[in-house]
Structure 1
Amino acid sequence: MEIYNENNRFISILSDYGFKATFGNESDTTFLKKALQVLIDSSIPIKTIEFVKNEMMAITIDSRSGIYDIACVDENNNHFIVEMQLSEYPEFIQRMKFYALHRFNTMVKKGAYKFENLSKIYCIGILAENIFPQINHFHNIAVLRNTQNEIIDDQMTFITIELAKFTKQLADIQTDLDKLIYTMKTLHTVTEISEFPAFWNEEWLKKAIHEVDLRAMTAEQKLAYEMAISANALAVKNENKKIAEAEEKKMTAFVESLLTKTNHTINQIADIAEVSVEFVTNIQKKLLEGK
């Protein structure tokens, strides 16, 4: 999924910069309040939202995977944790539990280890890839239930959006959730306002779109965006380097095993491992030097 393209008019909301400018916009939370209401499937509007900043939940960039973490609290003291994950992460739900339980433990400690009247925690994960291959729907809300599907506890709620499963076309967009996900997936591909669907004029989406419109940006904002692009490119380069190093280490171990535990020739090992003869020869040389 290409989210950075300097030729586009609109910055992708899925990008580091776009996510911070929309979901993480502390000066105007109109979009965030509506987006949270839509994501948790609530009919009750959120009146106010306050960002929570601490050593774990502040708005931060994880350069290893391009993630922004957002934590905030509404007027009813409901806690929201929002994470976006662009790369594959099959164990993402485990990390969601880690963050939610950390928030839960913080609440319990502040309450002198009392468990009554705990605030609700909504842990929201927006993922580019799928983590639930057995589930077809792109939007899932999970609480603690028994085998009869009866709710045991809903103090902690986990919400996931798997963008890859959202395939609705413009003509099929009906709900506010549809509008939100469609906007996140397609805005950066639009070049002119004349291409806007009618619902992009709704106040909450209109404000978010304005924040990622390159033509509406100040020189300072454009500089921040260019720095985000540079940081993202470096992060991708470093990640690819780590992957390549891990693959080489794995292949080296495999070739070493073939050299020490079989009678195959160097050419045969190269064919089996699908590497060059030179690669096998270099490993053999190192093995002999180590004896």
Structure 2
Amino acid sequence: METGIYIPIISDYGFKATFGNEADSLFLRKALQALIKSDTPIREVHFDKNAFEALTVDSRSGIFDVACTDEQGNHFIVEMQLGYAPHFVQRMKFYALHRFNPLVERGEFDYANLPKLYTIAFLEKSILPVAHFHTVANLRSESGEIIDSQMTFIIVELAKFSKQVADIETDLEKLVYTMKTLHTTEPTQYPAFWNEEWLRRAIDELDTRKMTPEERAYFARVTAANAEAVKAEKQKIREAVEQNEQSVKAETVRNLLDLNILSVAQIAKTVGVTEDFVRKLSGDR
């Protein structure tokens, strides 16, 4: 992801430097309070182990971007997803249920006093059939009554947020605006609310002009690793496309061979393959 003076919050490095900043959790605490729409300030957060061991059939392990617990015992899982992820809700359920089970076990299977569990996702693209950018979901009846509020899912779809600075009022709107625009904003265009302590501290963490040599080196390593990962994924896509094209061509050649009206040379020219390709398929029959 290209960047100017400020590293994007939604980048891997930026998300960890702000939401995952264990040395200074003010930004995370204010953000969580805004996301769950609570009037009660979160005074403390304890960062939990954010990885879990393999639970799936193919033995894949998992990792949350941020996992923490506040002073009231409320649990939070926070994820950032770049790119289109139409089935991300399923991943959120997987993460939430993985965290839910140990809560029950630690309470000796007492379901009466379980702490609240919030699973929060920031999505770069839109996936829900709703108009608003901030969706809060609980277990509800068909009439809309809340059946259970112990487990809450919160999805923020950045693509749906379009408010301009003059219209921004809430901390939630300030948060999402900052996440979308910080890395593209010139210093002369800063909105006044970026001077608020919780946002100013986060923005300072992303200011490339204030980075130490060690931080610059780490940022360079993360950026390079991400670039390699993107390159590898693109190569996988290209290979998949090429394989699919070959499969289609092979099926077309087989169909033409079945008709038995064209020569090998004519089939090769029609499909756009070599004559050896046609002969091999003919010999495999």
Fold equivalence (TM over 0.5): yes
Report the structure number with the largest CA radius of gyration: 2
The reply on whether 1:83 has 2:83 as its aligned counterpart is no
The reply on whether 1:152 has 2:147 as its aligned counterpart is yes
Counterpart CA distance in 2 for 1:230 and 1:143 is 39
Contact conserved, 2:158 with 2:176, CA < 8 A, in 1? yes
Contact conserved, 2:254 with 2:282, CA < 8 A, in 1? no
- Indicate the SS of the match to 1:240: helix
Aligned to 2:24: 28
Aligned to 2:2: 4
Aligned to 2:120: 124
- Indicate the SS of the match to 1:24: coil
Q: Return the match for 2:242 from 240, 248, 260.
A: 248
Alpha-carbon deviation of 1:285?
5.4
- Indicate the SS of the match to 1:44: coil
TM superposition outliers: structure 1 runs of 4+ over 4 Å:
280-283, 288-291
Q: Return the match for 1:177 from 150, 155, 172.
A: 172
Alpha-carbon deviation of 1:90?
0.6
Contact conserved, 2:50 with 2:64, CA < 8 A, in 1? no
Percent identity among equivalent residues? 51
The reply on whether 1:166 has 2:161 as its aligned counterpart is yes
User: What are the Cα deviations for residues 235-263 of structure 1, in whole angstroms up to 9, with x where unaligned?
Assistant: 11011011111212222222222121345
Give the 3 Å change call, closer, same or farther, for CA 266–33 of structure 1 in structure 2.
Answer: same
The reply on whether 1:44 has 2:64 as its aligned counterpart is no
Give the 3 Å change call, closer, same or farther, for CA 289–216 of structure 1 in structure 2.
Answer: farther
Counterpart CA distance in 2 for 1:104 and 1:68 is 14
Q: Which sections of structure 2, spanning at least 5 residues, go unmatched?
A: 54-62
Give the 3 Å change call, closer, same or farther, for CA 82–41 of structure 1 in structure 2.
Answer: same
Contact conserved, 2:50 with 2:65, CA < 8 A, in 1? no
Counterpart CA distance in 1 for 2:231 and 2:194 is 35
Contact conserved, 1:4 with 1:15, CA < 8 A, in 2? no
Counterpart CA distance in 2 for 1:285 and 1:230 is 45
Alpha-carbon deviation of 1:171?
2.0
Contact conserved, 2:64 with 2:77, CA < 8 A, in 1? no
- Indicate the SS of the match to 1:104: helix
TM-score (norm 2): 0.88
- Indicate the SS of the match to 1:46: coil
Letter in 2 for 1:222: R
Provide the alpha-carbon RMSD of the alignment: 1.9
- Indicate the SS of the match to 1:13: coil
- Indicate the SS of the match to 2:243: helix
Counterpart CA distance in 2 for 1:195 and 1:54 is 36
Alpha-carbon deviation of 1:112?
2.3
The reply on whether 1:284 has 2:283 as its aligned counterpart is no
Aligned to 1:135: 130
Counterpart CA distance in 2 for 1:186 and 1:38 is 18
- Indicate the SS of the match to 1:177: helix
Q: Which sections of structure 1, spanning at least 5 residues, go unmatched?
A: 58-66, 270-276
Count of aligned pairs between the two proteins: 268
Counterpart CA distance in 2 for 1:131 and 1:243 is 22
Counterpart CA distance in 2 for 1:218 and 1:282 is 60
Aligned to 1:259: 253
TM-score (norm 1): 0.87
The reply on whether 1:230 has 2:228 as its aligned counterpart is no
Counterpart CA distance in 2 for 1:55 and 1:122 is 17
Give the 3 Å change call, closer, same or farther, for CA 257–197 of structure 1 in structure 2.
Answer: same
Contact conserved, 2:80 with 2:123, CA < 8 A, in 1? yes
